[in-house]
């Protein structure tokens, strides 16, 4: 059987054509995969930001609610010892007619205690901090300090 001169080129042409399709198919799959990774990452960040906003709103509402009542009295004990920052308040610690000991919680104490309990129950942690911190537990770290300074300059959200 005699070979025709075009047979070899035809086989080579098919191989090139096949390799082009393999490369294009691989590029398409990699492109879709990269797009999916980008979308998953963006969605995850969007969800985390939404959750953070919910937490901040909850904390603000809790603080405003406690402030609108002038603080709240709760049973004094190991879980809620009297707040030393309210030592100047004459009725910080009171006793009910039945002899139950109550202590006054200011809004920051309420929010801080709720954050601690929420963190234990749901694994979502947060901190109350300020540039004019009143205790070592509210001292901001470097990132928090930079954020607080940005808020003073007008920023409304940082993440």
Inter-residue contact 107 to 96 (CB < 8 Å): no
Query: What is the maximum span of the chain, computed from C-alpha positions, in angstroms?
Result: 116
> For residues 118 and 59, is the Cβ–Cβ distance under 8 A?
no
- Starting at the earlier edge strand, list the strands of the sheet with 72-75: 72-75, 101-105, 93-95
H/E run at residue 100: none
Query: What is the reported pLDDT for 107?
Result: 93
Count of alpha carbons within 13 Å of 131, Cβ hemisphere only? 8
Q: How far apart are CA 114 and CA 111, in angstroms?
A: 5
Query: What pLDDT, on a 0 to 100 scale, did the predictor assign at position 159?
Result: 86
Q: Nearest 5°: CA angle at 50, between 46 and 56?
A: 145
Where does residue 109 rank: exposed (0-12), middle (13-18), buried (19+ CB within 10 A)? buried
pTM for this prediction? 0.70
Rounded-to-10 torsion of CA 140, 141, 142, 144: -50
Length of the chain: 159
What's the pLDDT score for residue 9? 52
Helices (H), the chain: 5-68, 107-122, 142-152
Kindly state the tokens that stand for 69: 């009542």
Query: What is the residue-level pLDDT of the chain in tens, covering all 159 positions?
Result: 555 555 555 677 888 889 999 999 999 999 999 999 999 999 999 999 999 999 999 999 999 999 999 999 999 999 899 998 899 999 999 999 999 999 999 998 999 899 889 889 988 888 888 888 777 888 899 999 999 999 999 999 998
Which tens digit of pLDDT belongs to each residue from 69-114?
A: 999 999 999 989 999 889 999 999 999 999 999 999 999 899 989 9
Mark residue 83 as left, alpha or beta (left: phi above 0; alpha: psi -120 to 50; beta: remaining).
beta
Q: What pLDDT score was predicted for residue 132?
A: 87
pLDDT at residue number 62: 94
């Amino acid at each position: 059987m005699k070979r025709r001169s075009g047979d070899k080129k035809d086989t080579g042409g098919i191989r090139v054509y096949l390799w082009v399709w393999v490369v294009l198919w691989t590029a398409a799959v990699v492109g879709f995969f990269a797009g999916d990774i980008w979308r998953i990452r963006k969605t995850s960040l969007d969800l985390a930001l939404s959750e953070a906003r919910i937490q901040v709103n909850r904390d603000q509402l809790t603080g405003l609610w406690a402030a609108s009542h002038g603080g709240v009295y709760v049973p004094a004990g190991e879980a809620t010892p009297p707040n030393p920052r309210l030592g100047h308040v004459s009725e910080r610690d009171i006793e009910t007619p039945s002899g139950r000991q109550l202590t006054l919680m200011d809004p920051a104490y309420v929010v801080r205690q709720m954050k601690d309990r929420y963190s234990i129950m749901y694994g979502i942690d947060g901190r109350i901090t300020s540039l004019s911190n009143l205790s070592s537990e509210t001292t901001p770290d470097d990132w928090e300090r930079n954020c607080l300074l940005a808020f003073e300059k007008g920023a409304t959200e940082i993440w």
